[in-house]
Structure 1
Amino acid sequence: MFRATETGKALLAKNPASIDNETLKSYPSFVEFQKAGSAGQTKAEKPVAEAASASSATPEEQIDAAQAVLHSALSGELLQRILDNSPLFFEQLIVDLLVAMGYGGSHESAALKLGKSGDNGVDGVIDEDRLGLDRIYVQAKRYAATNTVQRPEVQGFVGSLVGFGANKGVFVTTSNFSAGARQYAEQIPQRVILIDGARLTDLMIEYGVGVRISREIKVKRIDEDFFGEG
């Protein structure tokens, strides 16, 4: 697991054209990191390692690596923003996300059905399709990262589904699920999807909820058909 430092976040906020060794050498902590890594290398190994660091990755691979760093930083910031806001904001966020994913028919109808906390163990219900032929029950827990959702909480949610005669549910949390909770959800006849904080932010980024495009990079290649004479 990697976590961006405040220095790293400050660098990302500048939207640098590239992040390479030359850029990072301006940071004393990176220089110390390089020294520590090279301390155990022989004189013959050092040039090889430096060459591999400089030239082994293609430009596209470097772009992918930079995008992964940006994605990770954005996910962390999204999760913190969610925790900084109210439970009502969190419930509205779930509405926005589910509608963006194609559930609920329309934003207005979805918003009327979600956000009613304490309704017999569920936080809301949303139509699976525009005609309302099937419904999905939702439980939303805005927990700190250290407050892991355990099996009894998932069992309680499933018990509520049985009470409603439902067989589909989504349990969303900003924290994590224990191994016991995940194992239980996989074994029951009801279809219950567990969405933890990491998966939640991934879906938000994928469906454009709470984020916007800051910059796009288009990678172009030779059009072989254009240059083909045959």
Structure 2
Amino acid sequence: MDYRDLKIGKHGLPTWDALIPNVLHYLEDGNAKNSKMIFKDIADSLKLPKDLREATYPNNPRANMIEDRVKWAISELNTGGALERPSRGVYRISSVGKELLNLDDKELTRNKVHSLPAYVNHKNELKERNRIKGVAEKEDAEENSDDSFSEEMDVIDKLTKQTDKYNNEIAANLLKRIQDAEPAFFENLVVKLLVKMGYKGPNGSSKVTQKTNDGGIDGIINQDPLGTSTVYIQAKRYKDDNVVQRPAIDGFFGALSRVHADRGVFITTSHFSSSAISTAKNFSIVLIDGIQLTNLMLQYQVGVQVKKHLNLFEIDEDFFED
């Protein structure tokens, strides 16, 4: 395929959405393939001139532009459920992706990908995260305004909002990764998170219970060496549409009663129904849903790492004092 037959964007290169058909056709054999190989093979297949094939970003000369656009197409298709990620850096086409291949290439647009149920759910989750953090969905009017009270505060405000938006996207992707993992992985994760949050105490202990004998309890954290103060955990790795209902809370309360516990934490990757929430309040059970879970993971840096630190400076007035 000649790149000039595709929609061209900045820098004279095909846009990421123009590469959606290329990605799907490349993976249509159903085999799982390494992402770096996908980036390179698709970019090479476009028959780009040498200068365009090797073009990089001025502020990041190590990032190849066209391969970055292939990467973006893969990311969007994965978010929409058209691609699966069986392991780190490996992708294969899903049943949703195979259905897309029944369409004409001209119909494989960004709008089509963004209308896929999994993508719509992803965007709705982001809206909810942004709502919780008070991040506006559209900031164009504010960003183009010349009426800012303080240019300095405007810059800080914009950086804060963009950082929140970026981290919300990371949190949403993190939740998807957890939902695709094994249940045992999730049980270990929630115990590690609560330990990182300080629930174990300096001399306490923590463990994931054996599945065959957990009695409805997936994790236990002793907050002191003698186990006089214990937190019991139940972890449910559910998809977004599998809402935790009241019977699950009743069951967990029964498990707590059997060990004479006065505190429990119920963690899920999905959501809780209103009846489950009211029941948990009556039983003094703490509930953590998928959004809260991944926000806590970012806050306590569990399963994530800091990508970049930004330093904003101000004048040290004390330095200039006599």
Please indicate, yes or no, whether the TM-score normalized by the shorter chain is above 0.5.
yes
Q: CA deviation at 1:15?
A: 11
Match of 1:53 among 138, 141, 144: 144
Q: Following the alignment from structure 1 to structure 2, what is the Cα–Cα distance between the partners of residues 103 and 122?
A: 17
| 1:96 corresponding residue in structure 2 | 192
Q: CA deviation at 1:96?
A: 1.6
Helix, strand or coil: the match of 2:144?
A: helix
Conserved 8 A contact 2:204-2:223: no
AA paired with 1:145?
A: D
> Residues 93 and 52 (structure 1 numbering): CA distance in 2 closer, same or farther, change over 3 Å?
closer
Q: CA deviation at 1:81?
A: 0.8
Match of 2:252 among 134, 145, 157: 157
> Residues 169 and 162 (structure 1 numbering): CA distance in 2 closer, same or farther, change over 3 Å?
same
| 2:312 corresponding residue in structure 1 | 219
Q: Following the alignment from structure 2 to structure 1, what is the Cα–Cα distance between the partners of residues 255 and 279?
A: 15
AA paired with 1:203?
A: L
Q: Following the alignment from structure 2 to structure 1, what is the Cα–Cα distance between the partners of residues 226 and 279?
A: 31
| 2:261 corresponding residue in structure 1 | 166
What is the TM-score of this pair, normalised by structure 1?
0.71
Conserved 8 A contact 1:173-1:196: yes
CA RMSD of aligned residues (A): 2.9
| 1:114 corresponding residue in structure 2 | 208
Q: Which consecutive residues of structure 2, in runs of 5 or more, have no partner in the other structure?
A: 1-15, 18-55, 60-109, 111-139
Q: How many residues align?
A: 184
Structural mapping, 1:179-198, within 5 Å: 179-188=274-283, 191-198=284-291
Q: Tell me if 1:82 matches 2:82.
A: no
AA paired with 2:189?
A: L
> Residues 151 and 16 (structure 1 numbering): CA distance in 2 closer, same or farther, change over 3 Å?
farther
Between the aligned residues of both structures, percent identity stands at 40
**What are the Cα deviations for residues 83-132 of structure 1, in whole angstroms up to 9, with x where unaligned?**
1211111111112212211233589942xx31423522211221124553
Conserved 8 A contact 1:96-1:107: no
Q: Following the alignment from structure 1 to structure 2, what is the Cα–Cα distance between the partners of residues 178 and 16?
A: 49
Q: Following the alignment from structure 1 to structure 2, what is the Cα–Cα distance between the partners of residues 16 and 108?
A: 51
AA paired with 1:97?
A: L
> Residues 224 and 125 (structure 1 numbering): CA distance in 2 closer, same or farther, change over 3 Å?
same
Helix, strand or coil: the match of 1:122?
A: coil
What is the TM-score of this pair, normalised by structure 2?
0.52
Q: CA deviation at 1:53?
A: 2.5
Q: CA deviation at 1:177?
A: 0.6
Conserved 8 A contact 1:172-1:196: yes
